[in-house]
């Protein structure tokens, strides 16, 4: 099977029906056997294999292959996270842009409440605290960290509290263990005169569209100075398997092509791709009720923000570069800063007020 045939068979995936009984799994298996010969730098073969593995899992074909993610164990997770933060333009610059937007929004305020939805282990908030050292007017920074994973939330609290002795302002931390859609946002009314809400790659984990709207509406009731979102710009909320499959292919293939451009080792490149392969497994390999990575296009998030009374502000999102590693960063008239590789806008940063 040559590359042209492989590409043609990838296109046949667009015709996959929802009913697994009429899917031609012989075609899928032939494609798998071809893609199994992938080299570490061959993104097309690798992503095809990841998609095929996930398809097998989704439809329970009984075809079992070597567990590809075992190959990722050679590279420590902390090394992968460092590469993402330091080298990967989608992560590197979206964080720089949103952190600067937070600092600019704080401005001359003395008493600030910063709510971080999906705080994780607090890495972004640590960078914000470091940047806030230059804000001479700041007297108190109250960080509210919302996080469903208890161990990560505990780590965030420890790391943020450790910064108290290194800054000229008071730091207060409130940890909230739970999912965003479970939070009573009204309880945080009046937490500070100056409230900023940050949600970095978090809101797409809310599984229901109505629940997403309710969370945004509840945040609007807090009257924040800014609500800043980072979200993948792809429709994985789509319930039709064939359409979601093709959306997934284009999104992650462009991610992989950017990884190929990074100045890192071939082993690190492959490990990063397999890191994102776990998301592919979620998008394609799980039945609807078990899926977690339900990304949506930026225009849907913006539609919800506007419906709740927010307006978009492009002036607060400033990128230090126009492009890097083939990724072009520019503002889109719909109301977001887009990170585009070739014709695929992979990531969106939104600033609402």
Residue 200 neighbours by CB under 8 Å, 6+ apart:
94, 95, 98, 116, 118, 124, 229, 230
**Per the structure block, which two tokens stand in for 15?**
């015709």
Task: Read off the pLDDT of residues 66-82 as tens digits, 9 standing for 90 and up.
Answer: 444 444 456 777 788 88
CA atoms of 173 and 157, how far apart (whole Å) = 7
For the chain, percent of residues with pLDDT exceeding 90: 66
Residue 69 neighbours by CB under 8 Å, 6+ apart:
274, 277, 278
Tell me what pLDDT residue 11 has: 47
Task: Read off the pLDDT of residues 100-153 as tens digits, 9 standing for 90 and up.
Answer: 999 999 999 999 999 999 999 999 999 999 999 999 999 999 999 999 999 999
Residue 157 neighbours by CB under 8 Å, 6+ apart:
122, 145, 173, 175
For the chain, percent of residues with pLDDT exceeding 70: 84
Q: Report the alpha-carbon angle 226-232-238, nearest 5.
A: 115
Torsion angle of C-alpha atoms 318, 254, 332, 115, degrees rounded to 10: -50
Walk me through the domains of the chain, giving residue ranges and CATH numbers: 3-74+243-290 (no CATH), 84-233+295-352 (3.40.50.150)
Helix, strand, coil share of the chain (percent; to 5): 50, 20, 30
């Amino acid at each position: 099977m040559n590359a042209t045939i492989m590409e043609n068979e990838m296109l046949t995936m667009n015709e996959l029906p929802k009913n697994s009984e009429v899917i031609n799994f012989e075609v899928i298996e032939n494609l798998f056997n071809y893609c199994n010969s992938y080299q570490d730098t061959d993104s097309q073969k690798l992503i095809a294999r990841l998609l095929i593995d996930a398809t097998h899992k989704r439809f329970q074909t009984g075809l079992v292959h070597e567990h590809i993610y075992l190959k990722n164990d050679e590279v420590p997770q902390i090394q992968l996270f460092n590469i993402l933060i330091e080298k990967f333009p989608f992560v590197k610059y979206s964080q720089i842009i949103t952190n600067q937007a937070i600092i600019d929004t704080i401005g001359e305020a003395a008493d600030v409440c910063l709510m971080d939805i999906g705080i994780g282990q607090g890495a972004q908030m640590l960078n914000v605290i470091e940047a806030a050292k230059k804000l001479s007017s700041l007297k108190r920074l109250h960080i509210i960290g919302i996080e469903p994973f208890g161990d990560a939330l505990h780590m965030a609290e420890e790391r943020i509290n450790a910064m108290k002795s290194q800054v000229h302002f008071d730091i207060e931390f409130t940890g909230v263990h739970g999912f965003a859609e479970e939070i009573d946002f009204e309880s945080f009314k009046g937490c500070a005169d100056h409230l900023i809400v940050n949600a970095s790659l978090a809101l797409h984990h809310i599984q229901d569209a109505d629940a997403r709207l309710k969370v945004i509406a509840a945040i609007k009731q807090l009257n924040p100075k800014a609500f800043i979102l980072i979200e993948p710009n792809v429709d994985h909320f789509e319930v039709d398997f064939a359409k979601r499959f093709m959306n997934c292919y284009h999104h992650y293939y462009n991610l992989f092509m950017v990884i190929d451009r990074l100045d890192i080792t071939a082993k690190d490149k492959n490990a990063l791709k397999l890191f994102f392969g776990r998301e592919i497994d979620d998008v394609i390999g799980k039945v609807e009720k078990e899926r977690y990575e339900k990304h949506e296009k930026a225009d849907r998030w913006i539609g919800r923000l506007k419906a709740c009374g927010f307006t978009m502000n492009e002036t607060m999102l400033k990128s230090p570069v126009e492009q890097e590693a083939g990724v072009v960063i520019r503002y889109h008239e719909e109301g977001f800063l887009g990170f585009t590789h070739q014709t695929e806008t992979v990531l969106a940063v939104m600033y609402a007020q």
